[in-house]
Amino acid sequence: MSRHRTLKLVHLAGTAWFVLCVGYMLVVALRQAGFRWWVIFSLSGHAALLMFLLVSLYLFIMVRGVGRTQKIEIEHPLTSTGSYMVFYVVAPFLGGMAGCLAMVGEHRVAQFLVGVAMGTFTTTLLVWVVVDPVTSMLEAVLPPTSRKHRRERLAQTKAERQRKERERQQLLADILAKEEAQRHHWQEALRPQAEKLAELLTTDSSDVKQAEREAVSVGLHAWQLGGISCMRELHDMAIAISKQKRRHGDVVDFVSFWWDGIGTWRSPSLV
């Protein structure tokens, strides 16, 4: 078993011991306040669920690597060492041992256990909440080597982020340019078909079936040429040409209905 995995297991055991001591202290405090056991048991279910969620979140963060083993050694010359990590994970047990020593001579079992739990609670909070953050902050800002490495790392991270952003912008610009070039190509290639569709929109009612067959043929050609995007471009060109020819008349968009079922083209809803 690797040292890193062993430290995680010890950390898990220490966290469980800390939670057990906190729970015991709460039960004792409630009993001393005059609460009956049935009240304590009814409250313990909700408290246990909340504690389980908090501990699970903490352990998830630890397991995912946002814990002690991921610190950069040059920026954290003390807290990244093996000795300090061992001290950090065994802090609850050290607190329990300190509580045992402090309660030497106490013959009441309940009071002895309260002393052990209090020692665990005090030591763990002192190490995890006060000593560790303060030490990490000091070792990251006080040594010149740590400050220099941190500045360089942050500058490198910023430069990498900017580089990726430029790449994304360039990729987007290339895609837009390609789409625009494709659009111009379609406009040139589909101009005759667009004019033909514009003429079919003004066909007499007696020739509607023939106009529909020709429009379907033109739409199928556009689908084979460039898919739904090409069909939309051709459709817009045909409507625009038809409106130019009939300046004072409304244009009924029969093309959208004639093309229904070609590729992924669907006619608009009449509702």
pLDDT tens digits, one per residue of 224-245:
888 888 888 888 888 888 888 7
Residue identified by tokens 């130019």 is 244
**Which range is least confidently modeled, 88-102, 112-126, 140-154, 188-202?**
140-154
Single pTM value for the model: 0.47
pLDDT tens digits, one per residue of 12-65:
888 888 888 887 887 777 666 666 654 545 555 555 555 655 665 555 445 444
What's residue 61's pLDDT? 47
Number of residues assigned to the chain: 271
What percent of the chain stands above pLDDT 70? 75
Q: Where are the domains of the chain?
A: 3-142, 190-258
Question: How far is 271 from 264, CA to CA, in rounded Å?
Answer: 20
pLDDT tens digits, one per residue of 126-156:
888 888 888 877 876 776 666 676 677 778 8
The DSSP result for 190-251, as a single string, is: THHHHHHHHHHTT--GGGHHHHHHHHHHHHHHHHHHHHHHHHHHHHHHHHHHHHHH-TTS--
3-state secondary structure of 126: helix
Report phi then psi at 222, rounded to 5.
-65, -40
